Structure 1
């Protein structure tokens, strides 16, 4: 399955992406910590595709309506309007679709109010899972992880989670086997520039020093 997924992509999968996907194929949940723009969402994309291929469902949650709206547009463009839905406090579009993007609070409410709608859900993706440390919203993430039906596998994604191992151990206590995948290297180097006098100047050189021209 990984080879087939790789064939759909115009670039090679990074080792951490392959590792996380292998954990999913081993029927584990997975908690992923990786820098911004390093490709964490490719792991979620794989889970969404597997749900579609196996006639199950996937729910993708974000903490913000704007993020949910963007992810809804992305997945609808990739998979087609009939396969992707959106539920936020403002919009409800195709809520029974195989793939539904929603805000985290919406999923928490769904677990309590209509849990049968989760019977065919294979994966729940918790994007920006570091919000679990937020007060007071973090309780929503905790409730979801504790109360969601046991057959669901969780995929937690974050670039900034500080207590990564602690959260992973707690999730394992609640959900069974949750694997961890952590990477600190950026696949694309982050460069800082100073805009001044209609020109751009690098703030740091490759050794981390300040270039003479700056």
Structure 2
């Protein structure tokens, strides 16, 4: 829809949004694709200075909100941003992506057994590393503006969840959180707790799944659908061929 097709009220609303979130407009101008409504809403929250919990299916584009927080941090030479992930493999992957975007001099990596450019303005790390920094009173926390908690649903993990809880509780209150999850089932309740602990926190939920979820089972050398797909509509009945192959 072009601006000429918008009503006066819609044009006014769009103009007010551009004025309120100029960095989001600049960020969007760099992209070769449009943003979904939940991405726009979450980025607006971050630019307006609040924390955000984004709950959306795998493949929906939650990470873009984290990338916008990094973009914001890079606008002020005093600001830093930490990107945390629950596994070293995810941390290594995100480090390579950010190096490609911002250059090796601006990005660091801390995973316990790897220490690369720890004083960079963008540092990727496992969540345990950040927890240890907090307890040690590390000076690397100075000027920290944003923390991305990728896979934040790990807070409910029986063995490791306390790490996420400790990070959320002990981070300085002026640090804004960008919490991302595809599987958190109680987003509103979780958001209420974040609000109580961290202050201003918005919850953005999207239930649209742009990437279809298909489940398969490998039996011997055969790759079979988990559920029966012989009819016109999807069912919850286990694929009879799978039952025969597994028996």
Q: What TM-score comes out, normalization by structure 1 length?
A: 0.90
Structure 2: give runs of 5+ residues left out of the alignment: 1-22, 242-247
Instruction: Name 1:19's counterpart in structure 2.
Output: 41
Instruction: Name 2:173's counterpart in structure 1.
Output: 150
Instruction: Name 1:66's counterpart in structure 2.
Output: 89
How far 1:193 moved relative to its partner? 7.7
Instruction: Give the secondary structure class of the aligned counterpart of 2:134.
Output: helix
> CA 1:120/1:165 → structure 2, altered by over 3 Å: closer, same or farther?
same
Is 1:208 aligned to residue 238 of structure 2?
A: no
Match for residue 58 of structure 2 among 26, 33, 36: 36
Instruction: Name 2:189's counterpart in structure 1.
Output: 166
How far 1:136 moved relative to its partner? 2.1
Higher Cα radius of gyration: 2
How far 1:116 moved relative to its partner? 3.2
Q: How many residues align?
A: 211
> CA 1:29/1:207 → structure 2, altered by over 3 Å: closer, same or farther?
same
Q: What TM-score comes out, normalization by structure 2 length?
A: 0.78
Contact residue 192 and residue 204 of structure 1 kept, 8 A: no
Contact residue 193 and residue 203 of structure 1 kept, 8 A: no
How far 1:203 moved relative to its partner? 3.7
Instruction: Name 1:76's counterpart in structure 2.
Output: 99
How far 1:119 moved relative to its partner? 2.2
> CA 1:206/1:146 → structure 2, altered by over 3 Å: closer, same or farther?
farther
Structure 1: give runs of 5+ residues left out of the alignment: none
Is 1:133 aligned to residue 156 of structure 2?
A: yes
Structure of greater relative contact order (alpha carbons < 8 Å, 6+ residues apart): 1
> CA 1:31/1:199 → structure 2, altered by over 3 Å: closer, same or farther?
closer
How far 1:191 moved relative to its partner? 5.2
Contact residue 86 and residue 102 of structure 1 kept, 8 A: yes
How far 1:26 moved relative to its partner? 1.4
Is 1:53 aligned to residue 79 of structure 2?
A: no
Cα RMSD of the aligned pairs, angstroms, is 2.4
How far 1:142 moved relative to its partner? 0.7
